[in-house]
Structure 1
Amino acid sequence: MKLLILDRDGVINFDSDDYVKSVDEWLPIPGSIEAIAELSKAGFTIAVATNQSGIARGYFSPETLHLMHSKMRHLVGEQGGHIDHIEYCPHGPDDQCDCRKPLPGMINSILDQYPEADTESVFVVGDSLRDLEAGLTAGCKPLLVRTGKGERTITKGGLPENLLICDDLKSAIPYILS
């Protein structure tokens, strides 16, 4: 089984320091929807693991988040692909949960859903160090994209050795497929 785990904000859709709070504000990064569809059609199970502290902060409701995810799934479906699973952490940074990245709770939950996946061959694609750390802690392969907070993440440094860095999700396709 081929499993791919994607962060959402900054990888699939444009991120905002003010949070993506509505369906109208949820805008895909050019090429990301097509990339997900292409990988899905190539036999990958696509999962999303996303911190959504905007819920804890009162910026949007779980219902609004589900509508954003419905839009995302619909757009991927229009391209002939499928998002198989979405995990999200609704907690704030001080809530002491075990799901908020950089902790591996969401990644482990996805891996538990797909026990036939070879963890060491699962890419976790993110735009922040915390995405990469969650993936590494769970035993997966990290891949950083420059979109979203990716450039900021590169500038800060402290990245894992031999980290694969791609311009965006679309440019990561050849590496994920190989």
Structure 2
Amino acid sequence: MLLSIMVSEAKYIDESNLAKKKKESQKQLRDTVRRLDEALFGNPDRMDRELWLARLSDLVLDGVQFSAGQTPEVSDWRHAIRAGDCKIMLRGYSHVFVHSPDFDDSNAFEIAETDGCYQEVFSRKTLRDLVLAYWRDEAPNAIRNQSFDFPLTQSARVQTTDCNQAERKNGYTSSQERRQ
């Protein structure tokens, strides 16, 4: 079982505030991802790790929506998360949407000092194209990747770490070891 945690931070700004808000968004994302990383994978194990896992399992229960005909095993998912019998993938995205009409510098890059986190800056036109793609039920990958130096959907390096206590003691025990 894999629990994918994606942290997102977003700003909707005008071009005059771009530099300041990009830095602010990066810091907020970096701080949040670091806090989750330390809580879930810190070395030595944090005393409140089980509480964090319980909170995540409660979020799964509260957040999963399904049709009447579907029968997902939400209770099994919750139990696996609480018991640490799952893998956890943690990554983050900072999205900065610039609404100034003359701004056209959409770009993306990996955020320094943290693994698996990226910032994407979208111009008004690129945001419009993204919304239209979703409205047409099309994949947004081509639009996201056209202005960027790398395809985010293919090159994002994501850390997947086993959350099981026994395996953590025999294998990866810290964020630093996991990244090596």
Class of the TM-score when normalised by the shorter of the 2 chains: under 0.3
Q: Flag the structure with higher strand content.
A: 2
TM-score (norm 2): 0.27
TM-score (norm 1): 0.27
Q: Flag the structure with higher helix content.
A: 2
